[in-house]
C-alpha cells in the first residue's frame, strides 16, 4: 500500500488524515446504542418461533406475567387491526406475528421487565401452541406448482421508499420481477462459435456487524415517539414509524449514535417497530438488544440460484448473454426488490454485447428475511459471469486479461438501457490488477490466478442536505445525518469543511444523526455518503465561505481577488482578520453565527428513480492468486488485489481500510461463509461458533490496494464512493483463480469438500 504525505496547513484533501473519532473509540468514550440509558427504561426479550410456517393457536404465558419485575407482555392480539404491516419495498410484515408465523425465529411474544434476568425468566416459561402449515424453505419449493403462498401478494401495498415504480405483483411467491433486454439474443447466439452455459448457486450469508441490533423506544404521551437505534437510515425509519403508528413525521424522532458496523444489516427498519409496540404497551421506555444469534435471524444476504449462458465468436469477441436469476428474500421482502434489480444490472457484466436478456425474481420462502449486504447483486452474479468469460478465453486461446482488454466497455458507453453511461476506465483498472499479480509470470503446480471486473449501481436516490454553522469563536459545527458506521464519514466530512473554510480540522465538530436536529439525508449505504452527502457538505461550506468573503470585503474595502482565506482567517499582503474578528464586526457583538446550507437532489432529466440511475457505477474489481491442496481441497490465498476507482481519494488511508475490509468479506463469501437451513427451515449454524467468519488466520499472504484517481466522479473534488466493490471483486477473483487452477465450481463457498470434488470431476 502507498502511504500518502501528511496534510499541509492549508489542505487535508487527498492526505492520510487521522480519524476524528479515533481517540473516543479506542478509549471507550464513544457511545453506541447499547451504552445509552433512558430514565425508567425496561429491558425487552423476544420469544421466537421454532416453526417455519404455522398458525398460532394459543399462547400460554404459564405465569410469565406474574414474575416479579415483568411489566408488559406483547403478542399479536395487541396490534391486530390497530398497527398495520410495514416494509421498505412491500408492506408485508407485522411488528410481531399476528395469527401466523412465516419463519423460524419470527417474534411471537415480547416481554418488557425491570431487569434482563426477569425478562429472560419470563420468556423461558412461555409456550405457544401451533398448527403447522406447509412450508417452502427453498427457491424451487416456493416456485413449484401448487406451492403454498406466504402472502396474498396481489393485495400487498407498496412501501414508502422503494423507488422501483410499479411492482406488478401476481399471485404466488414472487415479490418482484425485474427484466431488461437489448438486441435479440436468439439471433446473437446463432452467430456464436463458443457458448458457455451453467447453473449457479450462491448461499445466504450473514453480514456480521460486531454490534448486534439495539433499539430503545420511548413514547411521550401517545403522540410523540423517540427512538434511539443502531440504524443506518434514520430518516427512512422515521418515515416508516410515522406511517405505522399514524403520527406526523415531526412527532417521531430517531437518534443514531455510533454504530459498531452495519454492512447493510442495519439498513431500513429492523427492530424498531416491535420495540415501539412493546414500549407503547408498557408505557415506559424499552430497550431490545439482539444477541448475535438473534441478529442472524433478523437479516441476512439473499441466497440465489441462477442460469447463465454466454456466447462469443471464435476470436473471443463477446456476442450475447442471457441470465435468469432467482433471489431468496425469505419470509418478508425487506429490500429484496432493490437487490433483485441491482443483481439484474450486474448480470451482464461491463462488456460490449450485441444482445442481452436478463430476468430476475425475488422469491418468498419460509426462512429468515434477507435484506441489504455490501455489494448486493454484484457479489451474487459477478463470479458466475466472470468464470464464463474466462472459459471462453480458454477455448479461444486468450488469457483472462486479454479477454477483458478485448471486450470491456469504454467510458461513455451505456451499461444498460436507459441508465447512465459508464464513468470509469475499466481497461486501465484491470491492467493495474494484473500488474499487481505479476501477470504472466510462471506459476507452480495447483496455483491459479484470477481477475474479475464488474459494476455496481451505486448511490441510491440522490437526496441529501447538510448545514454548516460557523460559530462566533471561529469553530464550526457540521449537521449532517449520514450515520458513522465505522467507514469514516465524520472524518471525510470534516476534511471537506476544513478545505472549503481553510481552517484546522480540530476546530470542526460533526455530531451524530438526530432527525430532530440534523437535516434530511436519504440513507447511509450504496456507497453514497462521500459522493452525495459529501457534496451537500461541500455546498454548505461554500455558502459559509461566500459569506466570509462578503464580510471581509466590507471590513477591508478590498475586492474578492485581493482576499484569500487561509488558516482560519481572511488575509491580504501580510494582514489577517481571523474569523472571530470578522463575525464580531458583522454582528457588532461577540455572538452570532454564519449558516450555510447545502442540498443534493435530482436535476435535469434525472428524477432520482432507479431506472434513471445510478448516481455512478462503482467498479467491482479484484485479483487473486490461490494455491489448492489436491489432497484436502483446502484453498490458500497467496495474493489478493483490489483496485479502488474512486475518482479522487479524499483520505487514502480510509479508502485502503475500506478496500481491505471489503476484500476480507469477499474472501469469506468465496471460501467460508454459508447459512445452512435444514428441511424444517431452521438455521443449523446460527452462531459464530458454527458460522465461519474470516479471522486473521485467513488473511492472504499479501494484499495490494490500488487507488485510481481520474477525477471522474460526481462527488466532491471528482470523488465517487468506495468500499463495496472490493467484496464483489475479490469474491469473483477467487472463483476465477480456482478455475485457473483446474477447479470449476458452480456453487459457493468453495469449501475444501467442494474444491476436492471439483478436482475429482476434472480428473475424471
pLDDT digit string (tens) for 315-336?
Answer: 999 999 999 999 999 999 999 9
Question: What CATH number has the domain spanning 303-460+608-763?
Answer: 3.30.365.10
Beta carbons of 235 and 459 less than 8 angstroms apart: no
Q: Which H helix or E strand runs over 238?
A: helix 234-245
Q: What is the pLDDT of residue 610?
A: 66
Q: What is the pLDDT of residue 369?
A: 98
Q: What is the pLDDT of residue 762?
A: 60
At residue 412, φ and ψ (nearest 5 deg) are 100, -15
Q: What is the pLDDT of residue 325?
A: 98
Helix then strand count (H, E) for the chain reads 17, 26
Beta carbons of 59 and 75 less than 8 angstroms apart: yes
Q: Of 240, 304, 233, which Cα lies nearest the Cα of 264?
A: 233
What is each CA distance from 727 to 202, 374, 390, 479, 502, in whole angstroms?
A: 14, 7, 20, 31, 36
Strands (E), 61-151: 70-74, 100-101, 107-113, 127-132
What is each CA distance from 390 to 299, 312, 321, 402, in whole angstroms?
A: 34, 12, 14, 10
Q: What is the pLDDT of residue 435?
A: 98
The SS3 call for residue 31 is: coil
The yes or no reply on domain 33-135+212-258+265-296 and CATH 3.90.1170.50 is yes
Q: Of 759, 542, 511, 501, which Cα lies nearest the Cα of 635?
A: 759
Q: Of 234, 215, 231, which Cα lies nearest the Cα of 514?
A: 234
The pTM for the full model equals 0.95
Portions of the chain given CATH number 3.30.365.10: 22-30+463-600, 303-460+608-763
Residues 565, 567, 570, 575, CA torsion sign: negative
Residues 412, 344, 728, 734, CA torsion sign: negative
Q: Which H helix or E strand runs over 308?
A: strand 303-312
Q: Of 474, 484, 475, 536, which Cα lies nearest the Cα of 509?
A: 475
What is each CA distance from 645 to 90, 429, 583, 621, in whole angstroms?
A: 34, 7, 41, 9
Beta carbons of 479 and 516 less than 8 angstroms apart: no
The yes or no reply on domain 22-30+463-600 and CATH 3.30.365.10 is yes
Q: What is the pLDDT of residue 3?
A: 44
Portions of the chain given CATH number 3.90.1170.50: 33-135+212-258+265-296
**Where do we find the cell 428524477?**
607
> Beta partners for 747?
201
C-alpha 332/C-alpha 487 separation (Å) is: 28
Distance of CA 210 to the CA centre of its chain: 15
Beta carbons of 727 and 374 less than 8 angstroms apart: yes
Cell numbers at 725, concatenated: 466493490
**Where do we find the cell 482578520?**
577
- Weakly modelled stretches of the chain, pLDDT under 50: 1-3, 5-6, 8-9, 764
Amino acid at each position: 500500500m502507498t502511504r500518502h504525505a501528511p496534510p499541509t496547513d492549508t489542505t487535508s484533501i487527498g492526505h492520510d488524515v487521522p480519524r476524528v473519532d479515533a481517540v473516543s473509540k479506542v478509549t471507550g468514550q464513544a457511545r453506541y446504542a447499547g451504552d445509552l440509558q433512558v430514565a425508567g427504561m425496561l429491558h425487552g426479550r423476544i420469544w421466537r418461533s421454532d416453526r417455519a410456517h404455522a398458525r398460532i393457536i394459543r399462547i400460554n404465558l404459564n405465569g410469565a406475567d406474574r414474575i416479579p419485575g415483568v411489566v408488559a407482555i406483547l403478542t399479536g392480539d395487541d396490534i391486530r387491526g390497530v398497527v398495520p404491516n410495514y416494509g421498505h419495498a412491500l408492506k408485508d410484515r407485522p411488528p410481531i406475528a399476528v395469527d401466523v408465523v412465516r419463519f423460524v425465529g419470527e417474534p411471537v411474544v415480547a416481554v418488557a421487565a425491570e431487569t434482563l434476568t426477569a425478562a429472560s425468566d419470563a420468556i423461558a416459561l412461555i409456550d405457544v401452541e401451533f398448527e403447522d402449515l406447509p412450508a417452502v424453505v427453498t427457491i424451487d419449493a416456493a416456485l413449484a406448482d401448487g406451492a403454498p403462498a406466504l402472502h396474498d401478494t396481489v393485495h400487498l401495498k407498496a412501501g414508502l421508499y422503494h423507488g422501483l415504480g410499479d411492482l406488478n405483483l401476481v399471485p404466488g411467491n414472487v415479490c418482484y420481477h425485474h427484466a431488461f433486454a437489448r438486441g435479440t439474443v436468439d439471433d446473437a447466439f446463432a452467430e456464436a462459435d463458443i457458448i458457455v452455459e451453467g447453473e449457479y448457486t450462491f448461499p445466504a450469508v450473514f453480514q456480521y456487524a460486531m454490534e448486534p441490533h439495539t433499539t430503545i423506544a420511548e413514547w411521550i404521551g401517545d403522540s410523540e415517539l423517540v427512538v434511539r437505534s443502531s440504524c443506518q437510515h434514520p430518516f427512512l425509519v422515521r418515515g416508516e414509524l410515522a406511517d405505522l403508528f399514524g403520527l406526523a413525521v415531526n412527532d417521531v424522532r430517531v437518534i443514531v449514535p455510533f454504530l459498531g458496523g452495519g454492512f447493510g444489516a442495519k439498513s431500513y427498519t429492523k427492530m424498531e417497530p416491535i420495540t415501539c409496540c412493546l414500549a407503547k404497551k408498557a408505557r415506559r421506555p424499552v430497550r431490545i438488544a439482539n444477541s448475535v444469534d438473534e441478529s442472524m435471524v433478523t437479516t441476512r444476504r439473499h441466497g440465489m440460484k441462477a442460469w447463465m449462458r454466454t456466447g462469443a465468436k471464435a476470436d473471443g469477441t463477446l456476442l450475447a448473454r442471457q441470465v435468469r436469476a432467482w433471489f431468496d428474500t425469505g419470509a418478508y421482502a425487506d429490500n429484496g426488490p432493490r437487490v433483485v434489480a441491482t443483481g439484474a444490472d450486474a448480470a451482464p457484466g461491463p462488456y460490449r454485447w450485441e444482445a442481452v436478456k436478463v430476468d430476475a425474481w425475488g422469491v418468498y420462502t419460509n426462512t429468515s428475511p434477507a435484506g441489504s449486504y455490501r455489494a448486493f447483486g454484484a457479489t451474487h452474479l459477478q463470479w458466475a459471469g466472470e468464470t464464463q468469460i474466462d472459459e471462453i478465453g480458454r477455448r479461444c486461446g486468450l488469457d483472462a486479461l486479454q479477454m477483458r482488454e478485448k471486450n470491456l466497455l469504454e467510458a461513455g458507453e451505456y451499461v444498460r438501457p436507459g441508465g447512465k453511461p459508464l464513468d470509469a476506465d475499466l481497461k486501465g483498472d484491470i491492467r493495474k490488477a494484473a500488474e499487481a499479480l505479476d501477470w504472466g509470470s510462471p506459476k507452480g503446480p495447483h496455483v491459479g490466478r484470477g481477475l474479475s471486473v464488474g459494476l455496481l449501481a451505486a448511490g441510491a436516490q440522490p437526496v441529501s442536505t447538510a448545514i454548516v454553522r460557523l460559530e462566533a469563536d471561529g469553530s464550526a459545527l457540521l449537521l449532517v445525518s449520514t450515520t458513522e458506521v465505522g467507514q469514516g464519514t465524520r472524518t471525510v466530512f470534516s476534511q471537506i469543511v476544513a478545505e472549503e473554510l481553510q481552517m484546522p480540522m480540530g476546530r470542526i465538530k460533526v455530531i451524530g444523526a438526530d432527525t430532530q436536529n440534523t437535516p434530511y439525508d436519504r440513507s447511509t449505504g450504496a456507497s453514497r455518503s462521500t459522493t452525495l452527502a459529501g457534496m451537500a457538505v461541500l455546498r454548505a461550506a461554500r455558502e459559509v465561505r461566500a459569506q466570509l468573503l462578503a464580510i471581509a470585503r466590507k471590513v477591508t474595502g478590498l475586492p474578492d481577488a485581493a482576499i484569500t482565506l487561509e488558516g482560519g482567517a481572511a488575509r491580504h499582503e501580510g494582514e489577517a482578520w481571523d474569523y472571530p474578528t470578522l463575525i464580531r464586526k458583522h454582528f457588532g457583538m461577540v455572538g452570532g453565527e454564519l449558516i450555510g446550507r447545502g442540498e443534493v437532489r435530482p436535476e435535469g432529466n434525472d428524477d432520482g428513480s432507479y431506472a434513471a440511475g445510478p448516481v455512478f457505477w462503482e467498479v467491482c474489481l479484484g485479483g487473486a492468486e490461490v494455491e489448492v491442496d489436491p489432497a484436502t481441497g483446502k484453498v490458500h490465498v497467496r495474493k489478493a488485489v483490489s483496485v479502488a476507482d474512486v475518482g479522487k481519494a479524499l483520505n487514502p488511508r480510509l479508502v485502503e481500510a475500506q478496500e481491505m475490509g471489503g476484500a476480507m468479506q469477499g474472501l469469506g463469501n468465496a471460501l467460508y461463509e454459508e447459512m445452512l437451513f435444514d428441511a424444517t427451515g431452521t438455521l443449523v449454524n446460527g452462531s459464530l461458533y458454527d458460522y465461519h467468519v474470516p479471522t486473521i488466520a485467513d488473511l492472504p499472504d499479501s494484499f495490494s490496494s490500488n487507488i485510481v484517481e481520474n477525477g471522474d466522479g460526481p462527488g466532491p473534488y471528482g470523488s465517487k464512493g468506495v468500499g463495496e466493490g472490493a467484496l464483489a471483486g475479490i469474491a469473483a477473483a477467487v472463483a476465477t483463480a480456482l478455475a485457473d487452477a483446474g477447479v470449476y465450481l458452480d456453487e459457493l463457498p468453495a469449501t475444501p469438500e467442494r474444491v476436492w470434488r471439483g478436482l475429482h470431476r476434472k480428473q475424471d
